[in-house]
Structures are given as C-alpha cells and as structure tokens.
Structure 1
Amino acid sequence: MDDSLSSTSLLRNAKRAAHKAMDDHGRRDYDEFALHAGVAVEKLAKAVLVAMNPIYIVEMRGSAEMLFHLGGHLTASKVRTIGASEAITRLRTLKILKVDTKLDLLIEVRNGVAHASGGVQAKGLLSTLAESVDTLLKRLDSSGPEFWERWYSAVLVAIDRHRSEIQRDVEIRIKQARHLFDDRFEGLPETAKEAVLKVHPRDVGFRSTMSPRAADRLLTFSSETPCPACGGLAHLMSTPIGTTGTHTELSAFWLRCRLCDLELDGADQIAASGADVEKAQVPTSIDLSWDVTPHTALEVGPTYMD
C-alpha cells in the first residue's frame, strides 16, 4: 500500500497540522487556525480508519482502482480518497465519533463553506479540535503528550470543563504567549532573553501618565506590571472606579506585553490571569488640569490598584 496513506504517515501529518493550528491560534490568525485544525482532524480520522482497514478510506463511487491500490494489487493512476466530512461520517457510523455540530462547523470553515466572521467562531473551536484529537488518539493507542508535545498543557486546559470559559481562554493565551516568547529567542544565548526582560518599557516608548479623554472626561492611567506569561513588564491601562477624600481606587481594564504579545481585555480576563496589579507602577499623587469651558481642575490623591 502507498506509504503516504499508512496510518503512521497520516498520524505524523496530523500532528504537524495540529501544531501549526496551535501556532496560528496563538498568533490570533484564526482563519489559518481553522484551515490547519481541519487538516489535522481529517488526517487523524483517516489514520483511524486505515488502522482498522485501509479500504475504509476508499470513495464509494467511480472505478474500483483505489480499492485495488489500497489492497496492494494495483497502482492507481490518481490517488483519491474520501474527504474530511465523509471520514467523520464513517467514524460516527462506527460509533467512534459522536455527532458534534462544532466539529462540523470546523470542517465547514476549513472548506470555505462557512465563514467565521472576524475569526470569532474559529477562535472558539480550539476545544473542539482538542476533544476530537483526544478521542481519535485513543483509537490509535497514541498518547496526548507524544502528539501535542509542548502544546499538551494548553490542550488539557482547553478540554477542562471545571474551569470557566474565561479561565480557559486566559490560561491558553498565557501558554501561547510563553511559547511565542521562547520561539523569538530560539537559537540565541539564554543571556539574550535575560537582557530583554530587564529592559524597562519606558526605554522603548511606554510612559507612566494619566491622560484625559475630553469627550467623556474619562481618565486612564498608563502603567507597568509584571507580565503573567513571560515575566517582563507589561503595559497596563486602568481607570478610576472610586474616590475618597484621601485616595483614588483604580481598576485595570487592558494589559498588553510587547515581549510575548499577550493581550488581555477587561477586568475579568486580567483577574483570571493572576497578574499582580498591586505591583503596577502608578503615580503616588497627581494634580492635573486641562482646558475646557468652564475651566476644570482635577486633583487625585494617592492611588491604589483594585
């Protein structure tokens, strides 16, 4: 039989595509993620079918040429096998895969039949990829750690239903950011990474300031805090949520690290990340005024992070 259609070869190609999908998801390129995730599921589904019997990936139309090709008695003029949707359908018939509308959507997005507007739908299909791969690997007696390698811990989070959706999303983002950070220093001395982590964001354009938005009089604090992914200093945006006669309480609403590209949007995501906003570097006191009609002056006492 053609070695490219062996279960081992299909498993190897599925692994390669799955890793590309995880890289794409980490870069927030969700269209590419759907493409590679769909390929991974297709290759893995075919690997399971071939392991059971090679003829299970033969199309049930046209000549019997491929049937003899897979049986090792004839070389087909053109190698043609079933597609992803049919492979999944056959595995469902064999009670190996369950009906899953999200898996169907993943294949449709990959094939261009369905369009994930802005990548939103595709982004949420990471757990679908992880669960499908987990089910199929068991049929091949292959282990998750061997298949996923460095992505295994992120995959475990994706399928952990004990965590909330926000917790899963944020923890996966952190793991992806760590891998991206490590990839940027691949082949370089460890001292290079250490040197970059010591660079203060102010040296590259970040400043601890408080800026007014004239339209709604909203004040935002730009500060720095340790990144929960790489440990460098991340850019943190906060806004006042309460004041007393002696201090102003701040709430962080946006975090981005220039080193590992981690980005968190909203107080819930920042809280789920475990970011130590208490260590954020903010001004201890501010006396700020800006020109409006009539003239308004604002005084803010000592600031505290929420």
Structure 2
Amino acid sequence: MDSPVTFDRLYEGARRFARLAMEAHAEEDQEVFLLHAGVSVERLAKAALARVHLTLLTEVNGKDDMLLHFAGALSTPPVRLRTISASTAIGRLRKMDVLPQKQKSSSEADDLDGLIELRNGVAHLGTDNVEDYLATFVTTVDKLLQHLEQDCGSFWESWSETVRVIQDGQAGRLQRDVRLRMNQARHRFRTSFGRLSEGVIDGAARGGSERGLTVVEVSPGRALFRTLSQCPACDREAASLLLAVAGDSLLFNLELKTESLVCALCGFRLSGAEEVEAAGLPTVLQHSVEELTRSLAEIPDPAERIATIKLSLPTVRPDSHDSW
C-alpha cells in the first residue's frame, strides 16, 4: 500500500499554504499569516527530508511503526500517522547544511525558530503586535526551493514579483516597504476586480473619487486640499491625494506638497513625502485656486471660500497682491 505521506503531497501543501500566508499578510492579518507561513515552512522542510528518504520523517522515541512503514517493511501504514515536528525537521536540515546553523552571530536561524514558535503560540494562545516575519518566511522557502531544485515562479505564482521585492538587497528599507505594499495592493485589486469588465471597474473608480481641488481643512498658516490621482499600484484614477500648502504660496499658483495617498479601489496607502517619492509620485504639485470645486467645511460660496483660506493664512509679503 502506498504511503499517504509523499514528497509531492508535502510540496503541494507547502505551496498552497505559502500563497495563503501571502494573502493574509497583504490583508494585514498577522495571526493568520503566522499560522499559514509556519505550516508552509514545516511541509516544505519535511518535503526536503522525504526527498532523501521517508524514514527521516520519523520520531526517534522507541516506536518503530512509522519507521518500518516508511522503510517499506510495513506495507500498511499505522492507524495514526505521526511525523516529526517542524522544529525537528528544521534541526535535521541544519545538520545536513540545508538551512543555516544556529550560531551566536546568526540571527537568521533565530528568526526561523521565532517564526515556528509564534506559529505554535498563535495556534494555542493567540498573539498580537509581533515582529513581521515575512522576510524570514520568504528567505527560508527560497533556500529550501533551491535545495530541492524547484522553480520559484511556479511555487509563488502571482506572488513572484512580491517575493522579488522582499529579496531585493539593493533597495533601501523604505523603498522595499513601499514596493511591497504596492504589490500587495495590486494583488487585492486583481482578486476583487479581475473578473469584472473595464467599464465596471472604471465606473467604480468614478464613483469613489472626485475631480478638482477640494478644501479639506483650513488652519492658521496652513491649508489642506484633496485631489484625484492615478494610483501607482492599480493604475486607476481612483486615488485621493492629500496636499498641504503653507502661507507663503502664491494665491493663483499654489505650490502644494503631497502628504498622503489612499486608493478607493485597491486600498494602497502612502504616508509622508518620503513614501510618496519612493512610489514614484511628485512630492510637489502646482495648482490654482481657480481649480477649487468645493469645500468640506461647507462654505457654499466659492468667493467666500477663497476669502476664508486667504484670511486663515498669514500675509508673508504685504507688498504683493497675489500672495497670502
């Protein structure tokens, strides 16, 4: 009788849970990510051992039913199939120099142990506010795939580009983080709108956004505006840019600084000028007060609205008629 524990089944299970882990991370569900990532690593580690010999999946505890079955000496598998734990599988792969050894100066091995421990902790107790183990997960899977000589693209499928971003050692931390979130937002967009027609998607974009320049908030020395922008993640004109202007900007040539972005379709977000720049968007935009369409402060008359903005900001150059 063939064993229900095989390399192919372990490998396919690892691949399925890897994709579930990436989806959970994109949805910012850390507990579900840890559960799925830990299971994926465990099954891929056991697949690597099974490729050598199935007996490497047996516990050394005096009970030899599984050992005899995997060795082919016991044709009928035990009623209760029980293989080694994830930690034991990882430990055996470390002895085989497949995964990094535990050393005093090796944080990579400690991070992998932390991922497995948190997986177990989440399963039994629940956890929150933990360190992000996405890079540890991706790095471990990559090492195991290389050892098994398996194609990374077919393993990760639609998450392949996201994995490349995580592994990009040339990019800075901020740039990697922005690119990662951008790829995750693209995946959410494809999941939500992939089967809809272009017309339906464009209608959804128009319904959730507003053209023109909207006054969001006015305070002494500063005003906030909102305008429509193309989202760098889903490439749809559905993102709202929050723009700020200081009191020394010309009234009919506003120099607005980009402060944040949020897309109504894919949920992509940017916060601060550094993230905006990392996403490839301009940090400064030129607009005119004439482009104002309405005010969220419910000032009905455009002339009164402009006057309100002017009065709220200090006059920096009193000799100029077109400055605040």
Q: Classify the TM-score, shorter chain.
A: 0.7 to 0.9
Specify which of 207, 222, 228 is matched with residue 224 of structure 1.
228
Q: Which moves more between the two structures, 15-24 or 262-271? A: 262-271
Structure-2 residue corresponding to 1:134:
142
Specify which of 156, 162, 181 is matched with residue 173 of structure 1.
181
1:79 CA displacement = 0.8
Structure 2 CA distance, aligned partners of 1:7 and 1:106?
Answer: 23
AA aligned opposite 1:20: L
2:235 is paired with a residue whose SS is: coil
Structure 2 CA distance, aligned partners of 1:127 and 1:95?
Answer: 20
Note the 1:1-306 alignment, pairs <5 A: 3-72=3-72, 73=74, 74-98=76-100, 99=102, 100-112=109-121, 117-119=128-130, 121-122=131-132, 125-199=133-207, 201-202=209-210, 208-212=214-218, 219-232=223-236, 233-240=238-245, 243-244=248-249, 248-276=254-282, 283-284=289-290, 287-289=306-308, 297-298=312-313
Q: Which moves more between the two structures, 29-38 or 67-76? A: 67-76
Q: Which has the larger radius of gyration?
A: 2
Structure 2 CA distance, aligned partners of 1:297 and 1:195?
Answer: 37
1:235 is paired with a residue whose SS is: strand
Is contact 2:256–2:286 with CA below 8 Å preserved after alignment? no
Query: What is the RMSD of the two structures over their aligned residues, measured on CA atoms?
Result: 3.0
1:19-56 alpha-carbon deviations (Å, 9 max, x no partner): 01111111111221111111111110000011011111
Structure 1's unaligned 5+ residue stretches are 291-295
1:208 CA displacement = 1.7
Q: TM-score, normalised by structure 2?
A: 0.79
1:88 CA displacement = 1.1
Is contact 1:4–1:10 with CA below 8 Å preserved after alignment? no
Identity of aligned residues (%): 33
Relative to structure 1, the CA distance from residue 4 to residue 218 in structure 2 (aligned partners, 3 Å threshold; closer, same or farther) is farther
Q: TM-score, normalised by structure 1?
A: 0.83
1:188-247 alpha-carbon deviations (Å, 9 max, x no partner): 3343224334446129xx972130358xx7532222211101122211223335725665
1:130-149 alpha-carbon deviations (Å, 9 max, x no partner): 11111101122210011011
Structure 2 CA distance, aligned partners of 1:171 and 1:202?
Answer: 26
Relative to structure 1, the CA distance from residue 25 to residue 128 in structure 2 (aligned partners, 3 Å threshold; closer, same or farther) is same
AA aligned opposite 2:188: L
1:182 CA displacement = 1.2
Q: Which moves more between the two structures, 248-257 or 126-135? A: 248-257
